Chain A
Amino acid sequence: MAKKFELNEIEVWDGNMAAAQALRQADVDIVAAYPITPSTPIVQNYSKFLADGYVDGEFIMVESEHSAMSGCVAASAAGVRAATATSSQGFALMVEVLYQASGMRLPIVLTVVNRALAAPLNVNGDHSDMYLGRDAGWINLCSYNPQEAYDLTLMAFRIGEDLRVRLPVMVHQDGFLCSHTAQNVRPLQDEEAREFVGEFKAVNSMLDVSDPVTHGVQTEEDWHFEHKARQHHDMMSSFDVIREVFGEFKERTGREYDLVYTYKMDDADVAIVALGTTVESARVAADQMREKGVKAGVVSFRVLRPFPFNEIVDALGDVKAIAAMDRSAPGGTFGMLFNELGAALMAKGKRPILLNYIYGLGGRDTTINMLREVYEQLNECAQAGEAKYPLQQFIGLRGPKLSFY
């Protein structure tokens, strides 16, 4: 049995400590992991908890992220709770196995501390890794601060392991801005967290030698489509479970989570849609704009996959101008948020002005002033009733202005 970790009502934790504490309280049986900035402290903290007797599990420091995720897949198929953490290049190396984990329907939890992808090599935050894995069949939860990183990591186990879901779950937090920024966090006490997460429910465990099971089969054109359809269906149906878990968490903690996060959207004319810590900066910018009489709001995805189609359109449907702010190099098209929001709005007959801003790559600072400038542009567009600016702009960039369309 693990020792109880005495926690204060309010702890000062950075996002990495918050995630590590959630993994500890979830009684993860196997953590197979490999270090990479900025997520390294999660596994370091976890191994320290283990060394001090605060967890009763196994930490396997493997030789690569590919093996880290492979180890989690094997452990989960063996019928035990498995989790890991990574960032950036490590995430990229895991990608093959991310698809195997979701296809095999194993409820692994992966805490991703978002960081740019090389080349050029860069250790700082952007969302390239998140975007790389968004179609890997994992549930994607997004946090904006350490408290949320903690809360969502605990909830990730509940959601993924629910028998109606059985899918792996990623919890994202921004590299450095969240992972290394100490803030007040109100944790659950160990017993309460354990009770909330519950015992791991093994499904088709390989360790039951009386009921042999085959995991990771070959399917060809006669079966693959049906399995992928089933997987997609179950992902699309997981909204109910996600809402249930969010609801129960609110009852316990008073902290409320929704599929889509909104700030001052009731009467908003202009809105920024962004992910990660930018949400918090955008809130400040929105407040300042409101002081100037601009009805500004902020929208974000709490759940990026499954894609909350109805909720995102409900949140944005009456807005006149929207900034889809993508913090990932778009690689020859618009940013993911622009494309996905555009499709969702159009499909529901909404035609707000939609602009794409590429920002903050490789950890480039995103100031409140920059976000205010985005609102100013949106406001101009809203008043004119047409896009007064190029559809895609790079902001915060040195050199001549870069924009398209």
Chain B
Amino acid sequence: MVKKIKNLKEFSLSNDRFEGANLMCPGCSHNIIVREVLNATNDPVIVATATGCLEVCTAVYPKTSWDVSWIHIGFENAAVAAATVSAAYEVMKRKGKLPPATQKMVDEGREPKIVAFAGDGGTYDIGFQSLSGAFERGHNFMYVCLDNEVYANTGGQRSSSTPIGASTTTSPAGSVSYGEKMQKKSMVEIMADHGAPYVAQVSPSKWKDLVKKVQKGFEVYGPVYINAQSACTTEWKHAPEDTIEVSDLGVESCVWPLYEIINERDEHGIIYSTKLNITYRPKKKIPVEEYLAAQPRFRHLFKPENRHIIDLWQKAVDARWEYLQRREEAGV
């Protein structure tokens, strides 16, 4: 059942199902994303989480920060965990063996929503196989990648989501290196190409856009992928209070474009339409340099010998923004 959320005041009526006194860093975006996702629905939620910051900081024995059922198995299997919980739910529903409280919810049209949260390491890298498999099989669940572009929990190593030029502990900037050498992988398109009915990129700073997309995702049947920008004060090295500001700079510079891809299928499951919509258009696209300057992980790029990487960044962001606009215009 779609929760009515007209504006922020209405949203603030939500009673959180994610609890304080967890051990996440002050100012961590992961938490903001989790809150916004859980509060986007009043239906029951069941969560699977991959190893990573969110997992090690919210279920440290003997305390849990979850007011929903939650499971962590390992680093690389959050997708299959959520997918199989979803399958188990469907089997029990079919057999009429759901626990009474759950059955009551279902009768009221409030089916449980099954959500996986995983970091970029658990998604782009080690969990990719399990994610790809679960999406191909078409299980009904939502997968949210908390994309802080680094293995934060283990001390800031690069992942295939780390953008070019970022200094991480395994791609450090040095006298002969500008840091990470590879461009970030485009997970959103990769997941859309699995034929998932709904795929979107979000930022916690644009809460309404995020909530709307999560709601759309909950409404479709099948696997949904949400790529969430997650500014990490510890690894991006900005001040904790600047989390929202840094996120906004990402969105306003089009480094982190907000868009969705909708695959529509006919009754035989054949995709007859793929549409990409840009859901937020900055009034004035700000230079990428401002985004980079706000994060000390890119500080070395401002040295004369590395400035060409900033130019490269701008070029790449412009090209990508162009590409998204062209796709949107073409309706594909």
Contact = CB atoms under 8 A, between A and B. Distances in A.
**Are A and B close enough to touch in the complex, i.e. CB under 8 Å?**
yes
A321 interface: no
A223 interface: yes
Contact of B101 (A60, A210, A218): A210
Interface stretch (B78-86, B200-208, B211-219, B321-329): B78-86
Interface in B118-146: 129-130, 132-134, 136-137
Interface string A63-87: 1101100111111011110000000
Interface string B207-235: 00000000000000000000000000000
A208 B72 CA distance: 17
Given A63-B132, A212-B69, A217-B64, 18 more contacts: A30-B88, A56-B94, A58-B88, A63-B129, A67-B133, A67-B134, A74-B84, A75-B84, A78-B46, A80-B92, A100-B74, A206-B70, A210-B102, A213-B69, A216-B72, A217-B59, A220-B60, A223-B62
A239 to B, nearest CB: 29
Nearest to B49: A216
B182 interface: no
A223 B130 CA distance: 30
A207 interface: yes
B85 A75 contact: yes
B11 interface: no
Contact of A57 (B61, B70, B84, B91): B91
A279 B82 CA distance: 42
Nearest to B83: A71
Contact of A214 (B66, B81, B84, B85): B66
Interface residues of B, number: 48
Interface string B82-111: 111101111110110011011001000000
Contacts of B69: 206-209, 212-215
12 contacts: A29-B88, A58-B88, A60-B83, A70-B73, A74-B84, A77-B71, A78-B89, A202-B99, A208-B99, A212-B67, A213-B69, A216-B73
Contact of A73 (B70, B81, B91, B101): B81
A70 B87 contact: no
Contacts of A217: 59-61, 64, 72
A98 B92 CA distance: 25
B99 A64 contact: no
A220 B44 CA distance: 31
